[in-house]
Amino acid sequence: MDLYGTLGASCARREILTAMFQAGMTGARLNLSHTTLPECASLLEDEFWPAARQAGVEASLIVDLQGPELRVGRLEEPVPLREGSSALLGAGGIPVPRSVVEAARPGDQISLDDSALLLTVEEAGPDRLTCRVERGGLLKSRKSLALLGREVDSPTLTAEDRANLAQAGRFGVTHVLQPFVRGREDLLTLRSALAELGLDQVKIMAKIENRRGMEKLDEILEEADVICIARGDLGNSMPLWELPSAQKRIARTCRAAGKPFFVVTQLLWSMEERAVPTRAEVSDIYNAVLDGSCALMLTGETAAGRHPLEAMEYLAKTARCALRDLNPDVSLFRPEGGGNRNKTSKLGDSVQWRT
């Protein structure tokens, strides 16, 4: 089974990454909504790849593109949004995509940072939105944004995405995560861009993040190499209590089609601050494995959290427990106390999917 972390300031040292690989990590995600591949040259060439070699892991490097995903622009410093106060989006205020300003109407709601913050549009002008803060907090640069109940027209690949893909071969990228896949055409566009760059070997991971992706899942399955159940924005597109059902339906459809899939978002969210996860979190991981997930991915837990190594250890140990229960006669991870410490198995093919 593949276990992925996300690269960021919290794990950006070779010794931490080496320990994470030794704990069971098989690869890492790089979120290109916040940076570029050339900006991460030192992180990749001096820290990530040397750590993988030291741990004896044939690591995967996954780049998560910007794609059609909507995000707040860059802020000079975090912006406090107080419940009940007004917030200006667009010209003269918090930078947001122009397409959001054009699509929003009074009464619409805007979620920020995976629904951590919530705004209601009170006035919609030609270049700005005046909003009331319903759920406040601290807004940081490049956090996710969703205009609830409306579709906003966005390109499959941004200019920044294409520039990053042009550098993918240089930096050893093995997989591309395409956000907010809306149907077959998004994946054909990405595959064509990869082919033009001689990157046909790079695997495409399609992120299912809204109802449209769910509605088009059958055709997405035909074009993607792997499906990613991305629960952050997927949870913004429906009442949150419906999210578990949506996750199960996607997993069931993937199993029936024989398409690998994995689960991401808030698997160990509390460990961004706490050294020990909640009981609900480890149960979530265990059940994702039993549902047939071929991989698990941590995001903020390793990129920005206080306990990146401990988070990876809990992820690996919980997955190991679930895989043991699925395959009691198969050794799926190297022994904790010995064995060949220079080799980590990739084990997605070993999981017996349940239908």
Residue with tokens 């690996």: 316
CA 312/CA 47 separation, integer angstroms: 17
Residues 293/254, Cβ–Cβ less than 8 Å:
no
Residues 310/10, Cβ–Cβ less than 8 Å:
no
346 is catalytic: no
State both tokens at 320: 């190991």
The residues with which 71 forms a beta bridge, in sequence order, are 144
Residues 61/28, Cβ–Cβ less than 8 Å:
yes
Residues 146/171, Cβ–Cβ less than 8 Å:
no
317 is catalytic: no
Q: Which of 182, 191, 207, 259 is catalytic?
A: 207
CA 241/CA 278 separation, integer angstroms: 19
CA 21/CA 312 separation, integer angstroms: 9
252 is catalytic: no
Residues 294/351, Cβ–Cβ less than 8 Å:
yes
Write the burial class of residue 202 (CB in 10 Å: 0-12 exposed, 13-18 middle, 19+ buried): buried
Q: Of 291, 296, 218, whose CA–CA distance to 257 is shortest?
A: 218
Q: Which of 71, 143, 182, 216 is catalytic?
A: 71
Counting Cα atoms < 13 Å in the Cβ hemisphere of 55 gives: 26
Q: Which of 29, 143, 191, 259 is catalytic?
A: 29
The beta strand positions in 231-335, using DSSP E, are 261-264, 295-297
26 is catalytic: no
Active site residues: 29, 71, 207, 265
